[in-house]
């Protein structure tokens, strides 16, 4: 039976952390801490935190992190063994309740942004509201350029909507396998910049990246993700 996210998250559970794209957490956090100017004592919102891998790594640096995810199973895993300073809530990223509370925010690895085509603006607007004036955002998104150039067998790309549809099979912690249909929003650099600006964010940098290999490389056709760094405008 085909399912969608967040059913896929509930099925996978801790097996999610076995996938190769999750192995570069420390590199990603070290890069982002430098780019965002994160320091001990600051407060960060991690939107679509999954099992909490980035939030845990930030908390170990003395940063206070609030992670939110739609999957109760992922929130349960994130809370288990969480270091001091990391807390987690089961929330819908399209309806974040925060208002000017955070020094910085993350939304990485399509944990929330890009998962519900047509509603990505709601996710970004909620993140913008959650940031204090001058707060910074690091957000990753699938690259339309990469998706089209390296379209995998069985995937379909809706050029009008910028949405990639894939059928994937994953295993859970017990080794059981199930199939899922996923629709993921993909973006060009210009689209990401415009979307950020509409929510009151000023794009500062935009790079092409790959999981576990974050760097300040200009947009290209070779990397699967785009990484936007944006600043909340003063009010």
For residue 152, CA distances in Å to 18, 164, 182 come to: 22, 10, 13
Pairing of strands 131-143, 177-187: parallel
| Residue 126: its H or E element | helix 120-130
Sign of the CA dihedral with 217 first, then 38, 46, and 117 last: negative
pLDDT tens digits, 48-87: 999 999 999 999 999 999 999 999 999 999 999 899 999 9
Question: How much is the mean pLDDT over the chain?
Answer: 94
Domains of the chain: residue spans and CATH = 17-144+187-232 (3.40.50.150)
Q: Would you say 6 and 70 are in contact if contact means Cβ atoms under 8 Å apart?
A: yes
Q: Would you say 73 and 45 are in contact if contact means Cβ atoms under 8 Å apart?
A: no
Smallest CA-to-CA distance from 124 within 66, 193, 58, 36 is with: 193
Smallest CA-to-CA distance from 55 within 18, 95, 104 is with: 104
pLDDT tens digits, 121-177: 999 999 999 999 999 999 999 999 999 999 999 999 999 999 999 999 999 999 999
What is the reported pTM?
Answer: 0.94
Does residue 3 register a pLDDT over 70?
Answer: no
Phi, psi (deg, nearest 5) at residue 233: -65, 150
């Amino acid at each position: 039976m085909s399912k969608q996210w967040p059913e896929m998250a509930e099925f996978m559970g801790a097996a999610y952390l076995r996938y190769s794209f999750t192995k570069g957490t420390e590199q990603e956090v070290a890069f982002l801490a430098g780019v965002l100017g994160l320091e001990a004592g600051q407060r960060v919102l991690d939107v679509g935190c999954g099992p909490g891998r980035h939030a845990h790594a930030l908390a170990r640096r003395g940063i206070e992190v609030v992670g939110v995810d739609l999957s109760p199973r992922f929130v349960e895993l994130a809370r288990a063994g969480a270091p001091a300073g990391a807390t987690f809530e089961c929330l819908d990223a399209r309806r974040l309740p925060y208002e000017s509370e955070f020094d910085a925010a993350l939304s990485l690895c399509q944990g929330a942004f890009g998962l519900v085509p047509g509603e990505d603006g709601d996710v970004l607007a909620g993140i913008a509201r959650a940031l204090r004036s001058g707060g910074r955002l690091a957000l990753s998104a699938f690259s339309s350029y990469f998706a089209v150039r390296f379209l995998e067998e069985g995937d379909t790309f809706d050029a009008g909507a910028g949405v990639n549809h894939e059928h994937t099979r994953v295993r859970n912690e017990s080794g059981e396998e199930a199939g899922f249909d996923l629709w993921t929003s993909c973006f060009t650099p210009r689209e990401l910049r415009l979307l950020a600006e509409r929510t009151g964010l000023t794009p500062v940098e935009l790079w092409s990246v790959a999981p576990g290999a974050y760097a300040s490389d200009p947009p290209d056709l070779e990397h699967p993700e785009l990484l936007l760094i944006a600043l909340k405008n003063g009010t």
